[in-house]
Amino acid sequence: MKQNVILRRLLPALLSLGLALALWYGLSLTVAYTEGRQVSLTGRVIDRHGEPVRGAKVSLVLNGHPFGAGAANEPAPPLAESQRDGTFVVDLPAEEVGAIEALVLEISRPHFKSLQWEAGDDEIARLNRGESLRLPDMELSRRMTVGFWVATLTFVAILVLIALEKLHNTMAALLGVAIILGTTFVGGAVSPDLFIFDFERALEYVDFNVIFLVMGMMIVIGVIEETGIFQWLAYQSYRLSGGRAWLLVTILMLITSVASALLDNVTTMLLMTPMTIQIALAMGITPLSLLIPEVLASNVGGISTLIGTPTNILIGSYAGLSFNDFLTKLTPGVLLAQVALTVYVLIRYRKQFLVRGGELSEALLNRLRESGRITRPAKLRKAGLIFGVMLLLFILGERVHLVPAVTAILGAVAMLLWVTPDIESMLKVVDWTTLMFFISLFIVVGSIQEVGLISIITGVIGRLVGSNLTMAILVLVWSAAILSGVIANIPFTAAMLPVVGSLTRTIPGASNQVLFYGLSIGSAMGGNSSLIGASANLVTAGIAERAGYRITYVEFFKIGMPAMIITVAIGTLWLFIRF
Amino acid sequence: MYRRILVPLDGSKTAEKVLPLVKVEGESHQATIVLMRVIPPLRSSLMMPPKFLEQIAQQASEIARDYLEGVAAQLRAEGLSVEIEIQSGPPAQCILDFAENTQCDLIIIGARGETGAIRWRFGSVANKVIRARTTMPVLVVST
């Protein structure tokens, strides 16, 4: 008891003493700092395209001696490093420097030629008077090292491996990371030309905004799915259509499109395909005439929101586009494309849709009715409420700087605590391999940025389009659309982001981010042109094939290619109208 | 004399073209017909959580069962003894393993069942079955 009293009295006294000591120490530091006179050299490092170069090391040779080195024959240690915006500050304490007769600044960075800048008489005089200097921009030129080729070939190999399905996406991307970091750490010790980037720099390229948003949305979708809402929606669309195939496909396309905008299009197709096959079988029509239109609608519908496709999540995070930006600037255009797509599908499939299908199967209809029920109404109410609040936060959160990733995590945690309090379910509803894919992809794309491949691509596109924004939009949208039919659109988009970012800064009139919206339209709508163009296509084809209904490459191309041309044309038109 | 004849079907009408021959062989040898459907692995992709994959696998298995039961009913109506078997995995491998493990003594398979993406990825199943080092007699029917 007595001890407690002593402690209670002593503690405030000790705390006050500690605080006073800390203050005194802090003040004395400040005094010491201001007492020492120093001059500063500030500057900026840029590349040939005027883009800031970060991570360039700045060292100094003063009066013919490497500044800060132990001996005259040692290289000068770096005094500063350029920041994200390319700027650097070199502070020189006057007493250490003494009288300056000659000053040479050395700027070096992996994958660039080193640069030396020599101070003129005027600058030396100013420094000797104790004035700080603002240096001219230092332009570094690229150097193609062996590391450049390693990173470039690794990136190309990943695209090829994924396109040919020789390796799982994640495995291919992880292999890329292993090659790049392995080359840096093993090869870099042998020759500096093999250095690509170190692990610390590699991690700086990982966009955790994307990782958390994707993970949060996976949990949210996983919990919502348990309620049976998707099966219910699919069954209701069958009931609403009254057995008319043309009406059924229109409703299913609408549902798929809206679901893809709010969830993710691959997930939407994972949920819609099994139910669609059941409906088609019950109605006696071929499932493909419903599935192909659905997947086309899914690829288009996903573009309308920030969370609708992984590519939009990537674009939104990189360019700082909010949920509202997508909603106000892209959604109307996507809706127009969606209407055109529906009309196209109805004309294209008119024979199948107008002819009454085979017999209605009573047994299959009963099964459909059975699986089309809301299985857990109480869960649905809770999950619906959380999802509603999430949507509000996505829309309103921008005002309080609430980033979408945080909203998604808040929603996911609420779902896990309130709707399905079971950590096992979290393990099962998150596709952890996808998250690992994104982390690895960011590192691989970071490496080609680091070695200068992105800069070369930017240069080529920049020369092609000049300062003509219309031309830039056309080239970007259509090349993205065509390439997305051949290569996986997520790595493509991730690699194009810095290119588009650079073009946005250099092309007059592009500051409204129109090129980012163009990339979104091109890469996602372009996926409709071929079966391998989008993950959703492959997933749908896979499930349909396992049920005994095959979507051939040619069949998909015949229907998908015109759909892609129509929707991308409308998308491009919308960009010209809106921006 | 064959006692167990394995008939892999992939759900396509093309593959079903082997059925008339299966009837003849089954009747003449008084053999048990084993109708087999192998569900190929779902192509790997992103954004596919394990839970949904399980659900899809279950549904594929239900569809396969419905299909095989339908074909089996036709054959049983003709007085044949029929069993059904559903497996998941690489088709050719599953067919050969099952045939060897369950003492089947003949495989009757259509030369061309699947087309499209699965064939592009896996090659022709019949081709793989006959090229495998098996001592099992394989009857390939031109379809």
A546-577 confidence digits (pLDDT tens): 877 888 888 899 999 999 999 999 999 999 99
Residues A108 and A165 in one domain: no
Contact (CB, 8 A) for A481 and A523: yes
Contact (CB, 8 A) for A288 and A178: no
Residue in B60, B64, B115 closest to A552 by CB: B115
In a domain, A2, yes or no: no
Residues A514 and A368 in one domain: yes
Residues A106 and A131 in one domain: yes
Please count the CA atoms within 13 angstroms of the CA of A176 that sit on its side-chain side: 34
Name the domain boundary from A204, A238, A254: A204
Q: Do B49 and A428 touch (CB under 8 A)?
A: yes
In a domain, A23, yes or no: no
Helix (H/G/I), strand (E/B), else coil: A360:
coil
List the structure tokens of B121: 């990825």
CB of B67 within 8 Å of a chain A CB? The answer is yes
Q: Do B47 and A264 touch (CB under 8 A)?
A: yes
Contact (CB, 8 A) for A334 and A303: yes
Q: For position B114, what pLDDT does the model report?
A: 52
Q: For position A96, what pLDDT does the model report?
A: 77
Query: Which amino acid is it at A484?
Result: S
Which residues, including other chains, have CB under 8 Å from residue A562's CB and lie 6 or more apart? A344, A348
Query: Which amino acid is it at A421?
Result: P
Q: Do B117 and A541 touch (CB under 8 A)?
A: yes
Q: For position A21, what pLDDT does the model report?
A: 59
Q: For position A282, what pLDDT does the model report?
A: 83
Name the domain boundary from A139, A171, A188: A139
- Report the pLDDT averaged over residues B52-80: 90
Question: B43 to chain A: which residues are within 8 Å by CB?
Answer: 165, 538-539, 541-542
Q: Do B55 and A274 touch (CB under 8 A)?
A: yes
CA A532 to CA A278: how far, in whole Å? 25
| Percent share of chain B, pLDDT over 70 | 91
Minimal Cα–Cα distance from B89 to chain A, Å? 11
Residues A329 and A476 in one domain: yes
- Report the pLDDT averaged over residues A305-326: 94
For A278, which residue in chain B has the nearest alpha carbon? B63
Q: Is the pLDDT of residue A31 over 50?
A: no
Q: Do A550 and B51 touch (CB under 8 A)?
A: no
CA B68 to CA B57: how far, in whole Å? 16
Taking only residues 115 to 134 of chain B, the set having a beta carbon closer than 8 angstroms to any beta carbon of chain A reads 115-118, 120-121
Q: Among candidates A303, A254, A332, A338, which has minimal Cα distance to A522?
A: A303
Q: How confident is the model at residue B52 (pLDDT cuts 50, 70, 90)?
A: confident
Best mutation site among B12, B14, B39, B45 for testing chain A: the one with the most A CBs within 10 Å? B45
Q: For position A359, what pLDDT does the model report?
A: 62
Q: For position A30, what pLDDT does the model report?
A: 41
- Report the pLDDT averaged over residues B113-129: 60
Residues A223 and A92 in one domain: no
Contact (CB, 8 A) for A295 and A269: yes
Question: B70 to chain A: which residues are within 8 Å by CB?
Answer: none
Q: How confident is the model at residue B132 (pLDDT cuts 50, 70, 90)?
A: confident
Minimal Cα–Cα distance from B61 to chain A, Å? 8
Taking only the tens place, the pLDDT of each residue in A474-505 is: 999 999 999 988 888 899 999 999 999 999 99
Q: Among candidates A428, A423, A434, which has minimal Cα distance to A225?
A: A428
Look up the pTM and report it.
Answer: 0.84
Minimal Cα–Cα distance from A436 to chain B, Å? 10
* Total domain count, chain A: 3
Instruction: Tell me what ipTM this predicted complex has.
Output: 0.76
**In CATH, what number does B4-141 get?**
3.40.50.620
CB of B51 within 8 Å of a chain A CB? The answer is yes
CB of B114 within 8 Å of a chain A CB? The answer is yes
Q: For position B131, what pLDDT does the model report?
A: 80
Best mutation site among A546, A549, A551 for testing chain B: the one with the most B CBs within 10 Å? A546
Question: A553 to chain B: which residues are within 8 Å by CB?
Answer: 116-117, 120
Q: Is the pLDDT of residue A107 over 90?
A: yes
Residues A379 and A518 in one domain: yes
Residues A61 and A115 in one domain: yes
Residue in A169, A428, A547 closest to B60 by CB: A547
Q: For position A267, what pLDDT does the model report?
A: 87
Q: How confident is the model at residue A17 (pLDDT cuts 50, 70, 90)?
A: low
Domain that holds residue A324: 208-578
CB burial class (10 A; 0-12, 13-18, 19+) of residue A213?
A: buried
Taking only the tens place, the pLDDT of each residue in A237-283 is: 988 988 888 999 999 999 999 999 998 888 899 889 988 988 888 88
Q: Do B42 and A542 touch (CB under 8 A)?
A: yes
Minimal Cα–Cα distance from A260 to chain B, Å? 13
For A277, which residue in chain B has the nearest alpha carbon? B63
Q: How confident is the model at residue A415 (pLDDT cuts 50, 70, 90)?
A: very high
B137 membership: H or E segment, kind and range: none
In a domain, A70, yes or no: yes
For B45, which residue in chain A has the nearest alpha carbon? A535
Q: For position A1, what pLDDT does the model report?
A: 46
Torsion A24-A25-A27-A28 (CA) sign: positive
Question: B54 to chain A: which residues are within 8 Å by CB?
Answer: 428
Q: Among candidates A451, A444, A457, A500, which has minimal Cα distance to A477?
A: A500
Per-domain residue ranges of chain B: 4-141
Residues A199 and A316 in one domain: no
Q: For position B7, what pLDDT does the model report?
A: 95
Helix (H/G/I), strand (E/B), else coil: A1:
coil
CATH number for the domain that contains residue A118: 2.60.40.10
Question: A429 to chain B: which residues are within 8 Å by CB?
Answer: 49, 51
Q: Parallel, antiparallel, or unpaired for β A57-62 and A133-134?
A: unpaired
Minimal Cα–Cα distance from A108 to chain B, Å? 40
Q: Do A550 and B12 touch (CB under 8 A)?
A: yes
- Report the pLDDT averaged over residues A23-27: 50
Q: For position A7, what pLDDT does the model report?
A: 53
Residues A377 and A442 in one domain: yes
Question: A168 to chain B: which residues are within 8 Å by CB?
Answer: 44
CB of B73 within 8 Å of a chain A CB? The answer is no
Angstrom distances, CA of residue B65 to CA of A4, A307, B109: 76, 38, 19
Which residues, including other chains, have CB under 8 Å from residue A36's CB and lie 6 or more apart? A93, A94, A95
For B38, which residue in chain A has the nearest alpha carbon? A546
- Report the pLDDT averaged over residues A108-121: 94
Which of A95-99, A408-412, B118-122 has the least mean pLDDT?
B118-122
Minimal Cα–Cα distance from A325 to chain B, Å? 25
For B39, which residue in chain A has the nearest alpha carbon? A546
Q: Is the pLDDT of residue A311 over 70?
A: yes
CB burial class (10 A; 0-12, 13-18, 19+) of residue A462?
A: middle
Q: For position A16, what pLDDT does the model report?
A: 57
Minimal Cα–Cα distance from A311 to chain B, Å? 12
Q: For position A33, what pLDDT does the model report?
A: 41
CB of B47 within 8 Å of a chain A CB? The answer is yes
CB burial class (10 A; 0-12, 13-18, 19+) of residue A128?
A: middle
Q: How confident is the model at residue B115 (pLDDT cuts 50, 70, 90)?
A: low
Residues A131 and A150 in one domain: no
Q: Among candidates A235, A241, A352, which has minimal Cα distance to A293?
A: A352
Question: A434 to chain B: which residues are within 8 Å by CB?
Answer: 46-48
Minimal Cα–Cα distance from B59 to chain A, Å? 7
Residue in B47, B115, B117 closest to A266 by CB: B47
Taking only the tens place, the pLDDT of each residue in A511-527 is: 999 999 999 999 999 99
Q: Is the pLDDT of residue A13 over 60?
A: no
